[in-house]
Amino acid sequence: MVRILVVDDHAVVRSGLMMLLDGKHGMSVAGEAADGDEALAKAAELRPDVILMDLSMPHGKDGLTATPELKKLLPDTAILILTMHDDEEYLFRAIHAGASGYILKSAPHDELLTAIRHIAQGNAYLSPAATKRLMSDYLEKMKNGEHAGTFESLTEREKEILAKVAQGYSNKEIAEQLIISVKTVESHKANLMEKLDLKTRPDLVKFAMKKGLLNFE
């Protein structure tokens, strides 16, 4: 059973989401919160598998601010951003903050359920609209001559770490999965980003997508 914390400043939205998710599709709602501060308190208490997080919560700490704090508090909890913002800047900032997925509130219910299942299994998820934005941005950069580095220059270990970082895993999680030290993960990550001339996680995600290292549904 996937336990979910629903975070949104609108009570009606929270109620609708809880009705959709609770006790169905192998999911249960562990709790709800109206802003980022309440989400931090509830997450520490309930330790959910997934946090369904709104970005814009004007009456308290917003989702972008709360997400990295939640990941620090509960690194194994996946965060799915559910927002009305179909905007590239918000998408990149959410990924950089540590979110495992990004989906629009206008998305069909089935897509939301798929996204929750996907990130609960430790994978990343971007809605088709978000994926299209990332690819469009990448293609535009290629058109303007901003070529990424050579994938073939990476070692097999660096390719492995590239995929896991792009999927949203923390350095600690990667170290545990590969049975290596966090320092070694950080070293490989720094080397591969230098080889590929990548500066940020969104750049890394786009590169990994181009190489087929991410499997978005």
What pLDDT is attached to residue 195? 82
Q: What angle do CA 149, 160, 212 make, to 5 degrees?
A: 65
What pLDDT is attached to residue 135? 56
Q: How far is CA 65 from CA 58, 61, 191, 204, in A?
A: 12, 6, 29, 22
What pLDDT is attached to residue 201? 74
What pLDDT is attached to residue 151? 74
**What are 78's two structure tokens?**
């996946």
What pLDDT is attached to residue 141? 53
> How would you classify the pairing of strands 125-126 and 101-104?
parallel
Longest Cα separation, the chain: 51
Backbone angles phi, psi at 36, to 5 degrees: -65, -40
Backbone angles phi, psi at 5, to 5 degrees: -105, 120
d(CA 189, CA 174): 11
Please list the pLDDT of the chain residue by residue as tens digits (217 residues): 999 999 999 999 999 999 999 988 899 999 999 999 999 999 999 999 999 999 888 777 888 889 999 999 999 999 999 988 877 677 877 888 889 999 988 889 999 999 999 999 988 888 776 666 665 655 555 555 444 456 777 888 888 888 888 877 888 999 999 998 888 888 888 888 888 888 777 778 778 877 777 654 4
What pLDDT is attached to residue 216? 43
Please give the model's pTM, rounded to 2 decimal places. Answer: 0.63
In this structure, the number of other CB atoms found within 10 A of the CB of residue 113 comes to 16
Domain chopping of the chain, boundaries: 2-126, 148-210
What pLDDT is attached to residue 217? 41
d(CA 3, CA 52): 11
CATH architecture of 148-210: Orthogonal Bundle (1.10)
Fold classification of 2-126 (topology level): Rossmann fold (3.40.50)
